[in-house]
Structure 1
Amino acid sequence: MKKPAVLLAASATLLLAAAATAAPAPAAAKFDPLQAFAPYSYPQPATAYRSASGRPGPLFWQNRADYTITATLDPATRQVRGSEVISYTNHSPDTLDVLWLQLDQNRYRRDARGAFTSKFPTEFTDGYRIATVELEDAHGKRQAVPWLVSDTRMQVQLPVALQSNGGNLRLHVAWSYTVPGEFGGRTDVNPSQNGEIFEVAQWYPRMAVYDDLRGWDTAPYLNSEFYLEYGDFDYAITVPSEMIVAGSGELVNPEEVLTKTERERLEQARRSDATVMIRTPEEVTQPSSRPKQGGTLTWHFRMQDTRDVAFGASKAFVWDAARINLPQGGTALAMSVYPVESGGKEAWGRATEYLKAATEYFSRQWYPYPWPVAINEAGTAGGMEYPGITFDHKLARGSKLHMVIAHEIGHSWFPMIVGSNERRDAWMDEGFNTFIDVYEDYAFNNGEYAPKRDSEYAPGGGNPAEEIAKVIADPAAPTLLNGADMVAEKYRHPISYFKSAFGLVLLREQIVGPERFDPALRRYIATWAFKHPSPSDFFRFMESETGEDLGWFWRGWYEHNWQFDMAVRKIAPIDGHWSHGAEVTIANLDQLVLPTTLRVTYADGSTRDLRVPVETWQQHREYVVRVAGTQKVVSATIDPTHALPDAQRANNTLRVK
């Protein structure tokens, strides 16, 4: 695919033409204007909670979960033991007689529901061992409460219902589990030259979301990702003293866990656009790189306005960092931790450079990065995102490493800031993120690794429009609005990543243009930052902000896998004289409609482009376009830049005999 801006310029040359006349429809056409442009029914209704404009309504509410967690990682046994206090606030208009928590580690049990839906994981564990569940009253007194585990969920029965409109409680939970081995899927322990690397995520019982769409959203964790409440986190991880811990949020006790030299280097990195080594490859095996020998150290982190936290821990980590420059003079810190063997300028030696550049680009283009630190951690989770930290593959190099780092930190925007329901609507997570990746690829170092050509965006490595045409031609392919857990692995990337991302490219470059799309998406992100938008909220918001009725697009691209096939049927001189101009008959042959460009080529080799709006097809299946001109037309082509997913390009061009 050409650079998106070039594609847009090539397809947006608007020239005036004479009046056009309608022609009878071809008998074989599948296209039905009444079906394509029928009134669109949104998946979720507009209410006082969610307005018809796609914004939170006047009665919008969202519950909140704040966490204080203390945990210990024992590398010898791979045990994580911890306790947490959840301060849960019920802003809903409903009283709650039970609470639901998510127990993702139960996914690794042999009897887990998810064990029967896919081949991962390769190693099973016993899941969570819940020790105690207690409720704290207003006087600080704790009492045990009944609880019930069902697969990856836990129900807590409250002795007194939690009041609506601001009722608050404090829940204490103590637990332990075994970290799954390589490869656990999204959290694991894996070997390196100088010691094991622990990638620790989905590690504490987490509150399920109670919202206005479903009440308690208790979809089990099969393989699709997450839906979590926002809040503030204060957590402490105790590990053997030789280990480095890289965790979501800000390290608040560096004087206890870092050497004086490491603290000085971190301060230098906060002021440096160049990468600064915090712990060099040579220092990894030097005891002097740790503040004490033997025993344990406790690493203390805080993170605000987040839905989750995760961490990596290893004695093998090389560590480097650099300043992130944010809009309006703000700054954050980009950091990478990785084993010695992953280093080098062709590999993880540039990881912080990639992270810094991607975070700065996304912050300028869409919404400022909201947290103090962004971290790459190298392990065997080939690419997995959590707020403030990403797990990327330790063997990745060059363009592949840049691609995975940009993609995973891009998830900071979707769904870590804009908190869509990944467990049900993966396309609002992976697809939106893949979309913003496309443009970051061109922005990084003057397009060093552009264009984006990974399995998420162009599975066959060719023109994305032609690749997606193959995907939607598959009658077994699910639609974007299918539930995430209903999408077979074969179609997960082509649909949830690729089709969703390409739909936004079409919306930006072909349907509304970047001058309307970009401000609308920025406002969407700002409006729904740290909230939970539904698919309908996105659809309504983009219509309201761009000024377009897009029901035909939501129906054809998101609700269905409708195919697109336009053709040039006939070329003739007006009134028999080329000096009067040309009549070009175009046809829409399949169910999907899109605006496109008609290009006529004259005998002298010059061309003229005419934009054909989508409204052309509201009443017609075929249309005769009268093109002003004085020369003989030798050919006409619909979609000359191959920007659209046309199912049959052979009928896109017609030459005059």
Structure 2
Amino acid sequence: MTLLLAGASLTGISTSFAQQVKENNQAEFGEFMNRKGTYTRSASGKPNVGYWQNEADYEINVTLDEEAHTLSGSITLSYTNNSPESLDFIWMQMEQNRFKEDSRGTLTTPIQGNRYNGDTDGGYDIANLQAKVGSKGSTSNKYIVSDTRMQVWFNEPIPANGGTATVSMDFSFKVPVEGMDRMGRLEVEDGWIYAFAQWYPKVAVFDDIEGWNVDPYLGAGEFYLEYGDFEYSVTVPYDYVVVGSGELLNPKEVLSKELQNRYAKAQESDTTVMLITADELGNTELTRPKQDGTITWEFAIENSRDVAFAASRAFIWDAAKIDLPSGKKILAQSVYPKESDGQEAWARSTEYSKASIEHYSEKWFEYPYASATNVAADIGGMEYPGLNFCSYNSKGEGLWGVTDHEFGHNWFPMIVGTNERRYAWMDEGFNTFINHYSTLAFNDGEYPSNLNQTRRYVNFFTSETREGIDTYPDVVNISNLGMLAYNKPAMGLLMLREYILGHERFDNAFRSYIKTWAYKHPQPSDFFNHMDNVAGENLSWFWNGWFTGTGNIDLGISAVIPYAGNYVVVLSNKGEIPMPVLLEISYDDGTTERKMLPVEIWQRGDTWNHLIKTEKKIESVVIDPDKILPDINLGNDNWPQALYDNK
């Protein structure tokens, strides 16, 4: 590097610092996608006057056969068509059909397998389907099953703008052992643990973006579901414990007097209360109201997009109270086998659950459900409204991390109902971001968070096999999924909060986004527009650079040059993504100061000269002193004084 000498003339300095612009960068700062307002979605990122979404309410009754490992029962869907068009049919999701030898998911799984391997001897058996419009419509039994979708036809259309229909059927399926790391069954010493998810036929989303969302269930892509109210019952052997999404409606019918007392105590306790201890497993006279046959557990949840449950006779069970900002009190509870017991393991699960829900409720949006349940199963980590499945082998920091992450999903996508099958980053990435702050807060940082160590991921950002965040999860290279769905979008929000917008502006916008789209279906453009409007910043350059494509950040200091008794810092943007430039200047008297240069310095070109007015001698200049940015080139972020003195 050749630097100008301190005694250079004003004319020489001015000439050397002149911007040699051949082409401006306005394209990077313009709109990169169609974000214009429509009748249903406003340009400010809110539901517009014409916004609508349909509603799906469910009544489900099932019975577990532990000998055959089957779940069977009946479902009644009550569907409300709030759309502006009549519907001749509805599409339903049949996700258990993924567990068939000829399913699209099975046939698109690599020979070597992946996380989403599943049994192939399952799938739904459907009988007695009846579909009718309104209360007096004629009954149709016409349907077509295509892989993980089912089209149900009516004899007359469901009217627009509030028309109703019902669909009822009987269904059964064999519970897989390998349930694609989302559900299944696990045998432990005291019996089977059944983790039930994707267990009932459910209606697909019909929206204003593309009508019916009928992407097949392949594996990596998760779910996109309508909201509604659920009532469901589960009949199991008398010695089983069942936990599920929502509120247990009949504790007096399924719990012994002693267990009812403990259950009530837990609902008032800030510390974990044991409901069933390891020593009490099998002691049904103490914990169950009957000693033979079967028993039915009943649950309900309102304004939810899904339900899941777990059942086992092997469950240790504990619980504690959760305090919500409104003053409401709900229940945190955990169930796990004795193989998972211990203070270094699942005995702290309820403590973790309580802390997680309380943190997110206080910081972002209040948790809406009656309980928060953590279930130990042979599942790495999977979330459903009010209930998680986490690995029964998890301990310590790992158990905190997976518990906190899965409970964080209650905000994304359970409250904010995004399309996980296409935009995994809108739930996994946003959740990974809020996990960072909950982890910092838990027990004053008992466990570390590494999200802010962005430069540890330089190898990914410079890899030739990297892909963009906007790649669909079923398309993305599995080795890239963790970065593209989780870490890179989370880093994007981290940069917005810690570097670009600051805490107050970001938090106002992010909270407003959650509140505005709670129990609704935002698209990526709704998020971008809403953040721009509430934060008061046109962030198109950031959404374009970070959330689409594979460009990188590379800010640099080319020179620091004395000029007319002051200094000029010569900056360069060698990456594809512009960024504001935070400089930390250190002086020879031991003082430091910081200056933030706006992103607009890069609108006219890729170099910029900044004048520092000072009578002090500059010792060093550093870009991004807190190392928030995942800058791919560490070598040009610093200017040491020694480098200048040697010239």
Q: TM-score, normalised by structure 2?
A: 0.93
Assess if the C-alpha contact under 8 Å between 1:227 and 1:419 holds in 2: yes
Give the deviation of 1:272 after TM superposition: 0.7
Within the candidate set 50, 55, 71, 1:80 is matched to 71
Q: Does 1:403 align with 2:401?
A: yes
Cα distance in 2 between the residues matched to 1:187 and 1:21? 68
AA partner of residue 601 (structure 1): S
Q: Which has the higher contact order (CA 8 A, sep 6+)?
A: 1
Where does residue 342 of structure 2 map in the other structure? 344
Distance 1:160 1:45, change over 3 A: farther
1:240-319 alignment, distance < 5 Å? 240-288=237-285, 289-319=287-317
Report what 2:230 is aligned to: 233
- Alignment of 1:128 with 2:119, yes or no, is no
Tell me, yes or no, if structure 1 residue 561 matches structure 2 residue 550.
yes
Distance in 2 (CA, whole Å) between partners of 1:306 and 1:22 is 63
- Residue 167 of structure 1 aligns with which residue? 163
Q: 1:35 pairs with 14, 21, 27, which one?
A: 27
In structure 2, C-alpha distance between the alignment counterparts of 1:559 and 1:22, rounded to whole Å: 36
Write the distance in 1 (CA, Å) between the matches of 2:318 and 2:15: 66
| Partner residue, 2:387 | 389
Q: Identity rate of aligned residues, in percent?
A: 43
CA distance in 2: counterparts of 1:51 and 1:172, whole angstroms? 37
The corresponding residue for 1:331 is: 329
SS of equivalent residue, structure 1 residue 143: coil
Are residues 418 and 22 of structure 1, via their aligned partners in 2, closer, same or farther at CA, if it must alter by over 3 Å? farther
- For the 8 Å contact 1:24–1:622, the answer to whether it is kept is no
Deviation of 1:149 after TM superposition, in Å, equals 0.7
1:187 aligns to 2:192 (yes or no) = no
| Contact residue 48 and residue 60 of structure 1 kept, 8 A | yes
Q: Tell me by how many angstroms 1:113 deviates.
A: 0.8
In 2, the alpha carbon distance for the partners of 1:135 and 1:123 equals 31
Matched residue, 1:600: 585
Deviation at 1:471, TM superposition (A): 2.2
- State the match for 1:629 in structure 2: 614
Counterparts of 2:541 and 2:307, CA distance in 1 = 40
CA distance in 2, matches of 1:245, 1:429: 28
What pairs with 1:190-229 in structure 2 (closer than 5 Å)?
190-223=186-219, 224-229=221-226
Matches of 2:453 and 2:73, distance apart in 1: 47
RMSD: 1.9
- Looking at structure 2, the residues matched to 22 and 130 of structure 1 have their Cα atoms a distance apart, in angstroms, of 78
Q: Is the 8 A contact 2:325 2:362 kept in 1?
A: yes
Mapped partners of 1:123, 1:64: distance in 2 = 32
Structure 1 residue aligned with 2:57: 66
Change (3 A) 1:154 1:183: closer
Shift of 1:23: 3.2
Among 520, 542, 546, which residue is 2:509 paired with?
520
- Which of 49, 67, 81 matches 1:90? 81
CA distance in 2, matches of 1:42, 1:529: 24
Aligned AA (2:141): V
SS for the counterpart of 1:173 is strand
CA offset at residue 192 of structure 1?
Answer: 1.3
Which whole-Å CA distance do the structure 2 matches of 1:137 and 1:540 have between them?
38
Q: Does the aligned pair in 1 maintain the 2:96–2:199 contact within 8 Å?
A: yes
Indicate conservation of the 8 Å contact 2:551/2:576, yes or no: yes
Cα 1:194/1:304, change in 2 over 3 Å: same
User: Retained in 1: the 8 A contact 2:64–2:72?
Assistant: yes
Q: CA deviation at 1:519?
A: 1.5
Taking the aligned partners of 1:173 and 1:26, their CA distance within structure 2 comes to: 71
Which residue number in structure 1 is paired with residue 17 of structure 2? 23
Q: CA offset at residue 538 of structure 1?
A: 0.2
SS of the residue corresponding to residue 554 of structure 1 reads helix
Identify the range of structure 1 (84-93 vs 328-337) with the bigger mean alpha-carbon deviation: 328-337
Q: Which amino acid aligns with 2:613?
A: A
CA displacement at 1:385 relative to structure 2: 0.2
Q: Distance in 2 between matches of 1:481 and 1:44?
A: 16
Alpha-carbon displacement from aligned partner over 1:218-273 (angstroms, at most 9, x marks no partner): 00001110000000000011111111001111111111111111111111111110
Residue range with higher mean Cα deviation, 557-566 or 493-502: 557-566
Opposite residue 192 of structure 2, the aligned amino acid is E
SS across alignment from 2:191: coil
Shift of 1:550: 0.5
Counterpart secondary structure, 1:486: coil
Task: Report SS of the residue matched to 2:534.
Answer: helix
Alpha-carbon distance in 1 for matches of 2:634, 2:609: 20
Shift of 1:164: 0.3
Q: Give 1:122 shift.
A: 4.3
| Equivalent residues, number | 623
Determine which of 463, 468, 482 is the counterpart of 2:471.
482
Matched residue of 1:369: which SS? coil
Task: Assess if the C-alpha contact under 8 Å between 1:107 and 1:114 holds in 2.
Answer: yes
Q: Give structure 2 stretches of 5+ with no counterpart.
A: 1-13
Q: Is there any run of 5+ residues in structure 1 with no aligned partner, and where? A: 1-19, 458-462
The answer to which of 204-213 and 270-279 deviates more is 270-279
- For residues 498 and 320 of structure 1, the distance between their equivalents in structure 2, rounded to whole angstroms, comes to 33
How far has the Cα of 1:382 moved from its partner? 1.0
**Alignment partners' CA distance in 1, 2:214 and 2:135:** 31
Select the residue among 94, 107, 116 that pairs with 1:103: 94
> What secondary structure sits across from 2:151 in the alignment?
strand
Instruction: Quote the Cα distance in structure 2 between the aligned partners of 1:447 and 1:582.
Output: 41
